[in-house]
Amino acid sequence: MPDSPVIDPRDLRHAFGRFGTGVTVVSTRSDDGQAHGATVSAFVPVSLDPPLAQVTLMRSSKLSGYVADRPFAVNVMALGQLDTCLHFAGKPMKNGPAWGTSASGVPVLAGNAATLECRPWNVYDGGDHVIVVGEVVALDISATEPLLFVGGKFHHLGRLVGGSPWEQCGDGDGGQWFADAASFRPLVRA
């Protein structure tokens, strides 16, 4: 088996940074019951049925130890919440963030573009990170524009670029990629 190529971690970080993401703060309660959170850009929707979402956390973070076995929230940051993002990334705000309320008792932030309350589903090894999958048990969506992150900088939504949103995956069951293709022939196993 050939040796794996040596990848410079800085180059890898820059390559990962070319993929634009939203910005979240994942929040839960610490061991002493206090609200605790961290800014996280590694958030991924996983499944609609069951409703699952994934966050990837640095293994060395306090948060990674808290969310494995207790409810947590994924606070999707709104454009006006840059100070809140920075607060949870290690640059504290003078008066702290504005907390909201949740029916389940999970600490959530006020003013989010969206909030997903989750209960632990599973935790996976992710090298120097921990991959945490949560089952979404409640959510709140606002019309507020989300905050975006790409290339190590925060951004806002720009103009639309062609195309239109879709309701289902084009290559999934009932997809439309080949529905009207007269010349499409499925692969036949020999």
CATH number at residue 49: 2.30.110.10
pLDDT for 153:
83
List pLDDT tens digits, range 45-94.
999 999 999 999 999 889 988 988 899 999 999 999 999 999 999 999 89
Range of the domain at 117: 9-155
What is the C-alpha to C-alpha distance for residues 6 and 140, in angstroms, rounded to an integer?
Answer: 43
Percent of the chain past pLDDT 70, that is, above it, reads 84
**For range 81-108, the mean pLDDT:** 91
Residue 173 in any domain: the answer is: no
User: What is the count of structural domains for the chain?
Assistant: 1
Q: Indicate whether 23 pLDDT > 60.
A: yes
pLDDT given for residue 156 in this prediction: 87
pLDDT given at position 175: 56
Q: Are 146 and 126 in contact (CB under 8 A)?
A: no
Q: SS3 for 36?
A: strand
176 inside domain: no
Q: Going by DSSP bridges, is the β-strand pair 72-76/114-126 parallel, antiparallel, or unpaired?
A: antiparallel
Q: Please, which residues have CB within 8 angstroms of residue 73's CB and are 6 or more apart in sequence? A: 26, 27, 28, 102, 106, 107, 108, 109, 115, 116, 117, 118
Share of the chain above pLDDT 90, in %: 50
- Assigned domain for 125 exists: yes
Quick check: 161 pLDDT over 80? no
Task: Answer yes or no: is 73 within a domain.
Answer: yes
Residue 174 CB contacts under 8 Å (≥ 6 apart), including other chains? 168
Cβ neighbour number for residue 168 with a 10 Å cutoff: 10
Tell me the pTM.
0.81
Q: What is the pLDDT of residue 147?
A: 93
Triad 108, 157, 159: Cα angle to 5°: 155
Residue 95 lies in a domain: yes
- Name the band, by pLDDT with cuts 50, 70 and 90, for residue 159: confident
Residue 178 has pLDDT above 60, yes or no: no
Is residue 171 in a domain? no
Span 118-131, mean pLDDT? 92
Q: pLDDT tier at 180 (50, 70, 90 boundaries)? A: low
